[in-house]
Structure 1
Amino acid sequence: MTRRALAVRHVAFEDLGLLEPLLRSRGYTVDYLDAGLDPITPEVLAAPDVVVVLGGPIGLGDLDAYPFLAGERAALAARLAAGRPTLGICLGAQLIASALGAAVTPTGKKEIGYAPLSFTPAGRASLLAPLADVPVLHWHGDQFAIPAGSVTLAETPGFPYQAFRPAPGVLALQFHLEADHTRLEPWLIGHAVELAAAGVDLDRLRADAAAHGPALADAARTVFSAWLDEAR
């Protein structure tokens, strides 16, 4: 029987990236919901075999400006309560944290670029282990707290909470493991204002993508494969 994957997308260029061809190779159909346009209800998120909530330039502090985020969080909370396989990336991870009762707050700083993670003992024993020696792509300014009962997996010097697992089949990642380094330019265009304000060196970011992207892509596929094995 065909399995279905549903991705919640907040900006067009932040898509499933490396994860989409892997899903299709495993026989999943892949659909997108565009937040702010498509209804995101508990019923809509309940049906797919796996749900991936992607990143975006807004956050939980923007609920007044983007009220659809409250409905998205409520729908996600219902799916998590049902124990359904779910992956959250960046904003998606923050929505998972918030749906489970943890705080999500702005830090007043940015972490943008390729840099390694430090792993907790639980992280070193987790499905994230293939990332131990590979810089990953960071692109965030907000920070989630770890929900009660969840396991912290990774950190960086400026952001102590980078990944957690609240339950089998559920994974929340602050960093962008899905991003395809060969398709970075739309990110640089779409986030031009943020990058300029943060003083990010675009040539350095491009060079780091070329240097680290291939190894990161291999490690990402291994991590995603392990998550999909768990999500069966």
Structure 2
Amino acid sequence: MNRTALAIRHVAFEDLGLLEPLLAERGYRVRYLEAGVDAIDGHLLDAADLVVVLGGPIGVYETDRYPFLVDESAAIASRLAAGKPTLGICLGAQLIAQALGAEVAPTGRAEIGFGALTLTDEGRESVLKDIGEVPVLHWHGDQFAIPAGAKRLAQTTGFPNQAFAIGEHVLGLQFHLEVEPEQLERWLIGHAHELSAHRIDPKVLRDDAALHGAALARAARGILDAWLDGL
């Protein structure tokens, strides 16, 4: 139980979800850093065996509104420069991409709901290879460009950059594998305003979670296990 995993959390209900018990099984001691509340610096992140940067409803470019993003981005950049294992999910993947010099920008539209991925040739050789036709949970309006030297792994219609990897140690996912289906209601409550703004009926997401949740959870555990195996 000597290994440490730091998870940077931007909003309370977007946590490690399915990933947390997988980490515990492998002997990681998990600690959450609450973005905007806890100090996040390069020394802290560099000292961890694993860092997971979670999602949130803000943009990486909104540093005037959310100044903590400046220090968070610098800390992520320091860890990446050291070549240490880092997983980014949604906003977390965008922060990694930005730290690696790639553009992150709003798309002017939202991709919210369950939908299947289309894997690239490199994606079919990656840890995502067994996702098949299982719909994953999408919840974003921004998009990252693929960082220099990274492999583009997946896409969806209208959103060509859904995942990237650098070696075995950096994985960025625009979508959400980590959400436990039975916990989705917290998302529907927490993001109620966004759903209303985009005229998305929460019943649709609730029903899709009931339909696809078990298969997605199995696939997600396999993908996350495979990535951890590669570290």
Matches of 2:130 and 2:110 in 1, distance apart?
Answer: 25
Q: Which amino acid aligns with 2:180?
A: D
Report what 1:109 is aligned to.
109
Structure 2 residue identity aligned to 1:95: L
Q: Secondary structure at the match of 1:44?
A: helix
Aligned-pair CA distance for 1:25: 1.2
Q: Distance in 2 between matches of 1:60 and 1:107?
A: 13
Partner Cα separation in structure 1 for residue 158 and residue 214 of structure 2: 25
Name the residue aligned to 2:129: 129
Runs of at least 4 residues of structure 1 off by over 6 A? none
Q: CA deviation at 1:166?
A: 2.2
One-letter amino acid of the structure 1 residue matched with residue 62 of structure 2? D
Is the counterpart of residue 185 in structure 1 residue 164 in structure 2? no
- Does structure 2 conserve the Cα–Cα contact (< 8 Å) formed by 1:127 and 1:223? yes
**Unpaired runs of 5+ in structure 2?**
none
State the alpha-carbon separation in 2 of the partners of residues 169 and 131 from structure 1: 20
Normalized against structure 1, the TM-score is what? 0.98
- Mapped contact 1:152–1:165 kept (Cα < 8 A): yes
> Which amino acid in the other structure matches residue 33 of structure 1?
L
- RMSD of the TM alignment (CA)? 0.8
Question: Aligned letter for 2:189?
Answer: I
Could you say which residue in structure 1 is the equivalent of 2:176? 176
For residue 137 of structure 2, what is the amino acid of its counterpart?
A: L
**What corresponds to 1:93 in structure 2?**
93
Answer whether contact 1:61 1:106 (CA < 8 A) is retained.
no
Consecutive unaligned residues of structure 1, counting only runs of 5 or more, are none
**Quick check: 1:205 aligned with 2:211?**
no
Matched, 1:35 2:35: yes
User: Could you say which residue in structure 2 is the equivalent of 1:155?
Assistant: 155
How far 1:132 moved relative to its partner? 1.8
- Structure 1 residue matching 2:228: 3-state secondary structure: helix
Mapped contact 2:168–2:227 kept (Cα < 8 A): no
Secondary structure, in 3 states, of the residue corresponding to 2:122? Answer: helix
Counterpart Cα distance in 2 of 1:168 and 1:71: 26
C-alpha deviation, 1:207, in angstroms: 0.5
Counterpart Cα distance in 2 of 1:226 and 1:70: 32
Cα distance in 2 for partners of 1:161, 1:63 equals 23
- Asked if the contact 2:45/2:76 (under 8 Å) is kept, the reply is yes
| 2-structure distance, mates of 1:77, 1:168 | 17
**Contact 1:102-1:145 at 8 Å conserved across structures:** yes
Cα distance in 2, alignment partners of residues 106 and 59 from structure 1: 8
Distance in 2, Cα, partners of 1:61 & 1:95: 9
- Cα distance in 2, alignment partners of residues 45 and 217 from structure 1: 28
Cα distance in structure 1, aligned partners of 2:168 and 2:70: 25
How many equivalent residue pairs? 231
Matched residue of 1:121: which SS?
coil
Letter in 2 for 1:5: A
Q: Which residue identity is paired with 1:28?
A: Y
Q: SS in structure 1 opposite 2:223?
A: helix
